[in-house]
Amino acid sequence: MWADPFSILGWLSVPFFVSNLAVAIGFFMTVFFGWQYTKQFYEGRDKPLSWGLIIAGLSFLALSEFGQFLTPYRIFDTVTDFVFVNGGILLIQNFSFLLLVAGCYFLAREAMQ
């Protein structure tokens, strides 16, 4: 069940909705531009593992951010539902940060050789 995003927080509902939507759109734009850059820059060549991990990490982070965007408007039936949904979002977010850290590590390792 979903709550009305424009009335759930009173007069703060619209600014809250717009700011959260802007952040979610920003993450998806970052992923889109990252994929476009990688596709055009490495056209016809093998892409390094570091960029693949970074772009994958950004993709999972955008998915996590979209889940965080929807969570305030979801009416949970039980505490278990709340814990399950938010736990899933946290797992996706932690996995994305591991991918980003690994990608940055490989990027730094490539630059230092």
* Closest-CA residue to 65 (of 41, 33, 85, 92): 92
| pLDDT value at residue 75 | 85
Sign of the four-CA dihedral 15, 19, 22, 28:
negative
Say if residues 56 and 85 touch (Cβ distance below 8 Å): no
CA distance 104 to 7: 41
Residue 109 pLDDT grade (very low, low, confident, very high; cuts 50, 70, 90): very high
**In this structure, which amino acid lies at residue 95?**
F
2: left (phi over 0), alpha (psi -120 to 50) or beta: beta
Sign of the four-CA dihedral 89, 90, 93, 95:
negative
Return the domain boundaries, the chain.
26-69+78-111
| pLDDT value at residue 66 | 93
CA distance 65 to 59: 10
Looking at the chain, the whole-number percentage of residues with pLDDT higher than 70 is 100
| pLDDT value at residue 44 | 85
Say if residues 54 and 99 touch (Cβ distance below 8 Å): yes
pLDDT tens readout for residues 44-91: 888 899 999 999 999 999 999 999 999 888 888 889 999 999 999 999
